[in-house]
Structure 1
Amino acid sequence: MNIVFMGTPEFAVASLQAVLEAGHRVLAVVTQPDRPKGRKRELTPPPVKVEALKHGLPVLQPEKLRKSDELQQIINLKPDLIVTAAYGQILPKSLLEAPAYGCINVHASLLPRYRGGAPIHYAVMNGDEVAGVTIMYMAEGLDTGDMISKIEVPITDEDTTGTMFHKLSLAGAQLLQRTLPLFEQGPVAGEPQAESEATYAGNIRREDERIDWSRDARSLFNHIRGLNPFPGAFTTWNGQVFKVWAAASPGPAAAAGSQNAREDGTVPGTVLQLSEQGIEVAVGGGSLWLTQVQPAGKKAMPASEFARGGTLRTGTVLGGEPHDAE
């Protein structure tokens, strides 16, 4: 088949590779423009562009696809199929209707659960035991199109959003390899999504990153690993942002339901212990051991190393508004 591939981050690279390995002709790769990155703000190409150039594929990078000259260029290619994976822009109706067999999307959730831009974050943050990938037809709504195929991937306590991005990227590529042959005889029938079961996973906002110490240990553990490696969960210490990158698993016993229920009267967020195990903090109904932290202006470090520094003391209450924006 003649295919146009649209994707941007590392998650989408495996899907592009799957299309190429299946022997299809990629007419063009559409991705986001190069962006400044790092402290030096060097202009950096997105991972999908890097992969496309390795294979000598034409690359289009419109800032806004809907109002670009590139939109008509893509339509003029007359692809049999458009494949998208985390492209990052909404496709206009004219493009959705252009391919002979439609536009399909590799979406990192088990639809209709977690429509939107941050499905992996929310699956981990909510403590789900299973995540997955759905290949679906693209429609004008947000991830509302008919579903074609699915694959499930377990989430363990050792997983973070970062590890799940990698696992789901590979799973999505495998699913795409199994799904593309279905289109070689023409359009494929899809299964409509149950609107009553739909949930949304909007992009992570600053307020979503803040740690609420009154929550139970289990939900806070999920919250912290769900924001690792980006953008990171945070609290405050001495009026400055204090990031928490990892915590020790509290086990299934510390389940939701104990929220705000500290019988000893200790204020949630109080530092209880500092040891080689890390930093023990009082939370709703129990405590949580922080294992990797990042004070303002410093690099991430083991919490035990920070505890040895002696600047944080037991009895300190973490939280509150930062004096300065990060």
Structure 2
Amino acid sequence: MRVVFMGTPDFAVPSLQALLDNGVQVVGVVTQPDRPVGRKRILTPTPVKVEALKHGIPVLQPERLRRPESVQELKELQPDLIVTAAYGQILPKSVLELPKHGCINIHASLLPKYRGGAPIHHAVMNGDAVTGVTIMYMAEGLDTGDMISKVEVNIEDTDTQGTMFEKLSIAGAQLLTETLPELVAGQIQAVPQNDADAIYSPNITRVQELIDWNKSAVAIWNQIRGLNPRPGAYTLWNGEVLKLWSCRKPDTESTNHSNSSEPGTVVGMGEYGIEVATGSGTITITELQPAGKKAMDAAQWIRGGQLSVGTQLGSAAQ
């Protein structure tokens, strides 16, 4: 079987490695174009491209996959199957119809929940205890294809978007390894999605990064860990952005506490960090990043005399 793999970030690399480890003939890799990265704007290849070149696999990087010349390049690879994982572009009908075994996608959620580009962020931000990976046949809609296989992955209290990204990428690669033999043998019995149960997870916006201190301590805890390490939750302090990278899970006593202070008010400072009043309970910030500086322990920032009890941090209203 001639397979073309499409993927871009680190999430997709284990799945490409799984194909190669299982002796699959990967005849080409399609990934996003190299992009400038960092303050120096250094043109950087995608993680999938780096992995493909290690194995001498031809790499295609079309700016727009739906362009006729891009489709023709794919056609010349004569794929029997296309496997995608976080590629970053919607496959047009002209590509979906190329391989005789179809196109399958490794999606980081339990479909039809969290269709779209940010399923891991939304699962953590919503406080889900379980998420997972679904392998599905690709259709013209956004993550609407028939489901081939699934695996569940727990979200622990210590997990962030970053740790779940890694856990789900490994789970997806393992699921692909288990699914391919049945697919090749024609033994797949795909299950249609129930569109009525669909929940969408669009890419994170700047508005979703801003902390609304009127929300509960638990909701803010989930928001902060759901946006760590990318793109990061933030509040405002002295009119500048203050990134909040981690916090302690609110305990029951804190959650049930009725605040006498306005949400966003610093109500305590100590060795564990900065305690802030919320709409329901308090939350302790343990790692933050002031504008123009590197991330640091909140206790370190306290020692610098930057804050005092009673300081008001920004809110969604600002």
Normalising to structure 1: TM-score of the pair?
0.94
1:278 corresponds to: 273
Residues 231-310 of structure 1: matches in 2 within 5 Å? 231-251=231-251, 263-310=258-305
CA root-mean-square deviation: 1.6
How much does 1:76 deviate? 2.7
How much does 1:73 deviate? 1.5
Distance 1:214 1:304, change over 3 A: same
1:224 aligns with 2:224: yes
Distance 1:51 1:273, change over 3 A: same
Q: Distance between the aligned counterparts of 1:184 and 1:141, measured in 2?
A: 25
Distance 1:183 1:263, change over 3 A: closer
2:169 corresponds to: 169
1:95 corresponds to: 95
Matched residue of 2:164: which SS? helix
Q: Distance between the aligned counterparts of 1:231 and 1:287, measured in 2?
A: 24
The one-letter amino acid paired with 2:161 is T
Q: 1:315 aligns with which of 300, 310, 313?
A: 310
The one-letter amino acid paired with 2:64 is K
Given that residues 239 and 322 in structure 1 are in contact (C-alpha distance below 8 angstroms), is that contact kept between their aligned partners in structure 2? no
Deviations 1:240-278 (A, max 9, x none): 0001000001146766xx7xxx84441100001111110
Deviations 1:199-241 (A, max 9, x none): 0000000000000111111111000000000100000000000
* Number of matched pairs: 318
Q: Distance between the aligned counterparts of 1:74 and 1:138, measured in 2?
A: 16
Residues 201-212 of structure 1: matches in 2 within 5 Å? 201-212=201-212
1:199 corresponds to: 199
**Structure 2: runs of 5+ lacking an equivalent:** none
Given that residues 101 and 186 in structure 1 are in contact (C-alpha distance below 8 angstroms), is that contact kept between their aligned partners in structure 2? no
**Structure 1: runs of 5+ lacking an equivalent:** none
How much does 1:198 deviate? 0.6
Given that residues 32 and 62 in structure 1 are in contact (C-alpha distance below 8 angstroms), is that contact kept between their aligned partners in structure 2? yes
Deviations 1:292-314 (A, max 9, x none): 00011110000011111111111
How much does 1:38 deviate? 0.8
The one-letter amino acid paired with 1:21 is D
Q: Distance between the aligned counterparts of 2:3 and 2:133, measured in 1?
A: 21
Distance 1:62 1:137, change over 3 A: same
1:113 corresponds to: 113
Q: Distance between the aligned counterparts of 2:124 and 2:311, measured in 1?
A: 29
2:67 corresponds to: 67
Given that residues 272 and 284 in structure 2 are in contact (C-alpha distance below 8 angstroms), is that contact kept between their aligned partners in structure 1? yes
1:183 aligns with 2:183: yes
1:21 aligns with 2:21: yes
1:4 corresponds to: 4
The one-letter amino acid paired with 2:142 is L
Deviations 1:64-109 (A, max 9, x none): 1111522211123221110000000010101101101100000000
How much does 1:320 deviate? 4.7
